[in-house]
């Protein structure tokens, strides 16, 4: 079974039940419900138990590194025990662990990999450092005991939310007399997890306790409780570096010299070979613009040239203020933003703008949802530089007081984009197809074509639809399994623009996208035992000319091939639309969506999905397909198939055309101004018979245009435009003409718009 349409869910997703049809047997994708151990020991063997569903007779683990795995005897469809042995060269950090079975590959579980001993929290602690594994429930208090020595340095750390759990941890450390030595609670620096460090006062048996902050641990409150001493690199400086520029990145006990290539994105670093390292793997972000590091020279401003830039700095002492002289453009806005709390820094930043005399011009502190400030400052006329100050609002400082100041002059058009998918894993049936949606967020400004590629490539699998057209919201990529069976593997998609900008495709809402970004790009592929000949869906007389007409329903007829059984088939519309948001949520009124749920009874093999087309579609084409799910008696999907993807054009039913060229000249009089007429015709398509209202936008202040409505029985129009004498003669660009009509006369404000006609107006000064 394939789950390409699911949003990224935690690994404890609802179980998929194995069902049998009379003439065909379908094995569902395996599901991990629980892990007793969420970690693996490097240079050692870890025994772990997986509770799940549809594990089959011979499940195996899919890991991103070589590992010796032994399935222990006695496994069932719902439980499997593995001995996993890792070599000494495996990189510490957080990794994905999946299960592969006859039905395909499971959603991933996040595990910690390091040199620590891995054991259940119920087992006695024999040596440190150790990682204890378990699950908190309700108000329960978890307890662990270890022998300590006076003056011994001890760390206690909980990993739960960083592994995808929901526990809100608080830990306490008690001495042999049951007196509290230290305690810690969840912090943003550890993504909601907690850590304490202490020097033990006496010899004896110490106790560590762990509980939920509200004594009401929610579901999925699993944890990894680490006790002992180890090394971590969780506050890198700088955390952003410029492409093609050498930089030294440091943290406590960690230094690495790097020089990234001429590409942007995440660059994972390597832990040193010496020492016991644990926690998330360190990484830096390669910035598309200039990056600077604070140069601590007293009584001297650090000069920052014009353009977008990032500055990494530290407030090392109380009352310290770092000052930067930033080149700006008079009359333009500059956006200043500081990242401190959001990157794990304990300081509360205030942002101050001054002039060269030291006078304060603007100040910003907290922003919505964070202590970090954001300030949009309009540069006064004739000002070419401002002084930007970064200071702690509470006059603190210290070695962990890092920050990053981002300067965005808003002078140039951005050219970025972000790619996402909702398919963390794909299980490919024999001779069948799967569909992977890849959507693009173009708010960075790039509107061109994007080519998608998969690395490593899948043997015996044909890809189609790997180009996102210019201006489109995304693509539905088809994968057809044409060759022999292949081994399950982990891959990733990347998208490349025409200008060479390359970006990864990330799993939408992946919980570790910020903590370990490369995990959000990992997509697992595995073969399944489902055969396309057993269950398939195809179009049933869908016309080649079918398209998307705003505000008009589109019927998508399909036919299903399936075994004779009592199972129903659920039909679901899938599209490549990146649904517009309203209050940060998808707006259903602007979504290309299914009219109503459709299920075909056991004896019915033809049907149709009706698509509701919104009045406004921003792109010119959209991909559509229909997903068919074979359901068991409990309405659980046991097999899945996709109709061939169709790329449908958006058919705007009204077209505005000018009678002549779109560059229009008219004489200008210094006393009377100027006047001109725009003449043209309305072309109505797709059976539209409605009044069309015309709107001319982009005119300079003071200019006026007639309000014109072209009646349903007419086509020609004339728009009179008048310019007052105070408008200087010359070329006026950015003028746009568009028409609109109401598809429902009862909803006059709901209107379908034509494409805009770009017009340039030229006011010619009289000859001297």
CATH number at residue 462: 2.60.40.10
Average of pLDDT values for 93-106? 95
d(CA 487, CA 179): 55
Question: Ramachandran region of residue 583, left (φ > 0), alpha (ψ -120 to 50) or beta?
Answer: left
Each residue's pLDDT tens digit, 678-734: 999 999 999 999 999 999 999 999 999 999 999 999 999 999 999 999 888 899 999
d(CA 48, CA 95): 15
Average of pLDDT values for 462-480? 95
Q: In what order do the strands lie in the sheet with 222-228?
A: 117-120, 130-135, 222-228, 153-159, 194-199
489 and 599 co-located in one domain: yes
Range of lowest pLDDT (16-25, 237-246, 641-650): 16-25
Residue 298 has pLDDT above 70, yes or no: no
CA distances from 453 to 6, 119, 419 (A): 22, 41, 12
When divided into structural domains, the chain yields a total of: 4
Average of pLDDT values for 496-512? 90
Residue 233 parent element (H or E)? none
Each residue's pLDDT tens digit, 404-443: 999 988 644 456 789 999 999 998 888 889 999 999 998 8
Residue 190 lies in a domain: yes
For 345-354, b/e burial (b = at least 16 CB within 10 A) is: bbbbbbbbbb
Residue 280 lies in a domain: no
Phi, psi of 342 (to 5 degrees): -70, -10
191 and 140 co-located in one domain: yes
User: How much of the chain, in percent, has pLDDT values that exceed 90?
Assistant: 74
List the Cα angle 712/714/719 in 5-degree steps.
Answer: 110
Q: What is the pLDDT of residue 482?
A: 85
Each residue's pLDDT tens digit, 527-564: 888 777 789 999 999 999 999 999 999 999 999 998 88
- Say whether 749 sits in a helix, a strand or coil: coil
397 and 490 co-located in one domain: no
375 and 432 co-located in one domain: no
| pTM, rounded to two decimals | 0.85
Q: What is the pLDDT of residue 566?
A: 85
435 and 563 co-located in one domain: yes
641 and 690 co-located in one domain: no
532 and 681 co-located in one domain: no
Residue 17 has pLDDT above 70, yes or no: no
Candidate ranges 189-198, 577-586, 758-767; pick with highest mean pLDDT: 189-198
Q: Among residues 61, 62, 56, which one has the least CA distance to residue 76?
A: 56
Domain boundary among 408, 434, 463: 408
Domain that holds residue 223: 117-228
Average of pLDDT values for 176-195? 94
Residue 284 lies in a domain: no
545 and 439 co-located in one domain: yes
Residue 110 lies in a domain: no
363 and 429 co-located in one domain: no
> Quick count: other Cβ atoms within 10 Å of Cβ 714?
12
Average of pLDDT values for 481-507? 89
Residue 11 has pLDDT above 60, yes or no: no
Residue 263 has pLDDT above 80, yes or no: no
d(CA 678, CA 658): 7
Average pLDDT of the chain to the nearest whole number: 91
Q: What is the pLDDT of residue 15?
A: 25
Domain boundary among 408, 433, 448: 408
d(CA 379, CA 360): 13
**Contacts (Cβ under 8 Å, ≥6 apart) of 210:** 136, 141, 142, 143, 144, 158, 169, 170, 171, 223, 225
Q: What is the pLDDT of residue 728?
A: 87
Domain boundary among 593, 615, 649: 649
Average of pLDDT values for 660-664? 94
Answer with the residue of higher pLDDT: 617 or 189. Answer: 617
User: Which tokens go with 156?
Assistant: 């206690």
Residue 686 lies in a domain: yes
User: Which tokens go with 659?
Assistant: 């009678």
Residue 22 lies in a domain: no
Q: What is the pLDDT of residue 20?
A: 31
335 and 430 co-located in one domain: no
User: Which tokens go with 148?
Assistant: 């300590």
Residue 592 lies in a domain: yes
Q: What is the pLDDT of residue 3?
A: 42
Each residue's pLDDT tens digit, 274-296: 999 999 999 999 988 899 999 87
**Where residue 366 sits, what CATH number does that domain have?**
2.60.120.380
Residue 99 has pLDDT above 60, yes or no: yes
449 and 501 co-located in one domain: yes
Q: What is the pLDDT of residue 297?
A: 72
Q: 3-state SS of the chain: helix, strand, coil percent to 5?
A: 0, 50, 45
626 and 711 co-located in one domain: no
- For residue 299, what pLDDT band results from cuts at 50, 70 and 90? low
Residue 540 lies in a domain: yes
Q: What is the pLDDT of residue 531?
A: 78
């Amino acid at each position: 079974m394939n789950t390409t349409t699911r949003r990224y869910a935690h690994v404890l997703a609802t179980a998929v039940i194995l069902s049998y049809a009379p003439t065909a047997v379908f094995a569902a994708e395996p599901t991990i419900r629980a892990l007793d151990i969420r970690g693996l020991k490097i240079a050692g063997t870890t025994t772990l138990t997986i509770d799940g569903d549809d594990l089959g007779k011979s499940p195996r683990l899919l890991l991103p590194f070589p590992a010796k795995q032994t399935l222990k005897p006695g496994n069932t469809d719902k439980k499997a025990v593995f001995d996993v042995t890792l070599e000494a060269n495996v990189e510490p950090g957080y990794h994905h662990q999946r299960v592969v079975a006859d039905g395909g590959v499971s959603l991933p579980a996040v595990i910690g990999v390091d040199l620590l001993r891995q054991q259940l929290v119920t087992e006695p602690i024999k040596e440190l450092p150790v990682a204890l594994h378990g699950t908190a429930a309700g108000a329960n208090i978890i307890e662990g005991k270890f022998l300590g020595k006076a003056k011994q340095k001890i760390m206690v750390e909980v990993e739960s939310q960083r592994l995808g759990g929901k526990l809100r941890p608080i830990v306490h450390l008690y001495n042999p007399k049951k007196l509290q030595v230290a305690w810690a609670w969840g912090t943003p620096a550890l993504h909601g997890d907690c850590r304490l460090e202490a020097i033990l006062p006496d010899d004896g048996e110490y106790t560590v306790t762990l509980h939920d902050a509200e004594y009401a641990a929610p579901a999925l409150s699993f944890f990894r409780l680490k006790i002992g001493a180890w090394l971590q690199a969780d506050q890198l400086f700088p955390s952003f570096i410029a492409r093609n520029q050498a930089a030294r990145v440091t943290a406590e006990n960690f230094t690495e010299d790097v020089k990234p290539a001429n590409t942007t994105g995440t660059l994972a670093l390597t832990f040193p070979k010496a020492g016991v390292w644990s926690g998330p793997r360190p990484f830096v972000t390669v910035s598309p613009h200039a990056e600077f590091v604070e140069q601590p020279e007293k009584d001297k401003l650090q000069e920052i040239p014009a353009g977008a830039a990032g500055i990494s700095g530290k407030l090392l002492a109380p009352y310290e203020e770092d000052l930067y002289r930033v080149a700006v453009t008079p009359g333009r806005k500059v956006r200043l933003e500081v990242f401190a709390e959001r990157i794990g820094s304990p300081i509360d930043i205030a942002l101050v703008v001054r002039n060269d005399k030291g006078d304060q011009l603007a100040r910003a502190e907290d922003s919505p949802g964070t202590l970090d400030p954001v300030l949009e400052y309009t540069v006064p006329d004739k000002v070419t530089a401002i002084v930007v100050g970064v200071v702690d609002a509470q006059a603190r400082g210290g070695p962990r007081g890092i920050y990053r100041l981002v300067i965005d002059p808003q002078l140039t058009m951005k050219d970025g984009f972000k790619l996402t998918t909702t398919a963390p894993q794909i299980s490919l049936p024999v001779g069948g197809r799967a569909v992977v949606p890849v959507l693009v967020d173009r708010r960075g400004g790039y509107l061109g074509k994007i080519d998608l590629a998969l690395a490593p490539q899948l043997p015996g699998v044909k890809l189609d639809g790997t180009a996102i057209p210019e201006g489109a919201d995304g693509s539905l990529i088809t994968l057809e399994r044409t060759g022999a069976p292949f081994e399950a593997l982990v891959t990733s998609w990347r998208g490349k623009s025409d200008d060479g900008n390359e970006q990864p495709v990330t799993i939408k809402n992946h919980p570790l996208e910020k903590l370990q970004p490369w995990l959000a790009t990992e997509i697992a592929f595995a073969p399944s035992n489902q055969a396309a000949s057993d269950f398939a869906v195809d179009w049933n007389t869908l016309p080649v000319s079918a398209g998307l007409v705003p505000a008009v329903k589109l019927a998508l007829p399909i036919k299903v091939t399936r075994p004779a059984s009592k199972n129903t088939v659920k039909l679901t519309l899938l599209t490549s639309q990146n649904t517009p948001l309203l209050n940060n949520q998808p707006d259903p009124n602007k979504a290309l969506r299914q009219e109503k749920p459709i299920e075909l009874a056991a004896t019915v093999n033809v049907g149709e999905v009706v698509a509701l087309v919104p009045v406004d579609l921003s792109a010119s084409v959209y991909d559509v397909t229909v997903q068919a799910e074979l359901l068991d008696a409990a309405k659980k999907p046991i097999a899945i198939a996709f109709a061939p993807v169709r790329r449908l054009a958006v058919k705007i039913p009204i077209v505005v055309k000018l009678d002549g060229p779109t560059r229009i000249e008219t004489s200008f009089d210094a006393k009377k101004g100027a006047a001109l007429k725009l003449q043209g015709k309305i072309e109505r398509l797709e059976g539209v018979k409605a009044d069309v209202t015309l709107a001319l936008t982009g005119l300079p202040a003071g200019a006026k245009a007639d309000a014109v409505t072209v009646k349903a029985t007419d086509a020609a129009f004339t728009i009179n435009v008048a310019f007052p004498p105070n408008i200087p003669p010359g070329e006026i660009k950015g003028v746009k003409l568009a028409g609109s009509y109401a598809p429902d006369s009862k909803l006059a404000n709901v209107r379908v718009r034509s494409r805009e006609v770009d017009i340039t107006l030229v006011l010619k000064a009289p000859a001297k």
